[in-house]
Chain A
Amino acid sequence: MTFEHILFSIEDGVALLSLNRPEQLNSFNTQMHLEVREALKQVRQSKDVRVLLLTGEGRGFCAGQDLSDRNVAPGAEMPDLGVSIEQFYNPLVRTLRDLPLPVICAVNGVAAGAGANIPLACDLVLAARSANFIQAFCKIGLVPDSGGTWLLPRLVGMARAKALAMLGERLSAEQAERWGLIHQVVDDAELRDQALALARHLASQPTYGLALIKRSLNASFDNGFDQQLELERDLQRLAGRSEDYREGVSAFMNKRTPAFKGR
């Protein structure tokens, strides 16, 4: 499959997926969904990928659903928006959340609608200082999707989640960082380089262990304390069998730099 609406490459353990419909602020149409899905499939299947970096081309990150794809003519039959949620958005955010490797999102500009929630399904979110997040759904009579209603209250608390979701106001990257919605704000000109540097750093780390950390933290929202303790026990059991753990311990004992392989 050749990609028209995304850029995709794999280099030194880092898969770089960039949404590439800059004229439309990288909003999703069916073709872009299919391409993203194919790229993520390659990420999942490739043994070389240890980190995924998701970003956008041009001045926006992602403006969510391309509404011209969903134009409702007056008198036309009521659309079933659940279909594209089930076909595309839910599998996309599930995949990002479940991928057994760290997923970095570099929000390079406006992130609106589903585009504001997709980063929240990633593990480490950097945003350009000029970027902002808009839960635009309420402006057209819709509900935040792509996991927004689940993730927002957990990340910023119910009061702020409801204000964001019901007012649909622009949340600046700096405010998002202060609220704990994202990891870090970076100067616009440095975003791409810093995100890549972070990705390359993580790609040299024990990424199998990082994936287990991701799994345990993701599960903590659903689990009670005792259940989570049991999960920690099981994941530690798995981590303890990894080559990287042996390497890490051996390097520590011999006072040398470890060479991790991600397994």
Chain B
Amino acid sequence: MTKTNGYAARDRSWHPPALTPLYKTSVTRSPRFAPIGAATSLSEETGPVFGHDILGAKDNDLITNFAAPGEMAIGPRIVVQGHVRDEFGRPVPHTLVEVWQANAGGRYRHKKEGYLAPLDPNFGGCGRCITDENGFYEFLTVKPGPYPWPNGPDDWRPAHIHVSVFGHSFAQRLITQMYFEGDPMIWQCPIVGTIPTREAIETLVAKLDRPGSIPMNSLCYQFDITLRGRRQTMFENRMEGM
């Protein structure tokens, strides 16, 4: 018998809906039919596992992982750190967190990107880490710049870092974006605005963490990530992980 209680259902009124016309690309890329609800089975309650052996020494240091020897990326140095947990507050240990971002001037290192702000020859813009046994992660980077994009005639993304998290199962798979405390552009952005409530948006705003800063080196931003929780009740008829 493989019965489980499955993962708690996604609250689709909390997440952005598929069709959000002010974010124009969503108009032709949003399904018109409702998604079909189905209880999670083993196919969704499992997922890929990545070991620390995939990590290089600089994978979570975006300031030097693309830089020439002895060089560093230009921009405000920051540490981003936090915990990955589930909806029930349980830590999510040993899970892969991938990040990508523009440089300090808002320019992405991508062939299809033509913004006139220059590339930083010592900044690639990607990094990754695996959470520790407490679900803790951290990376070192430069604060990304805001970035104009062809949506409305004068739309700018707030400073943001893209975050991809695997969790322990395909049901938990999540990509989101981290924003920075106090940035007035957050409240003007059509992509941020796809999220229905201010309360939900605020959970994506990293807080300046003064005690976490490294004096004379880097400021710190604190960003916790919450994944779906796996239900676990008295009636669960098998042990976690079996």
| A and B assemble together | no
Interface of B toward A, CB cutoff 8 Å: none
Interface of A toward B, CB cutoff 8 Å: none
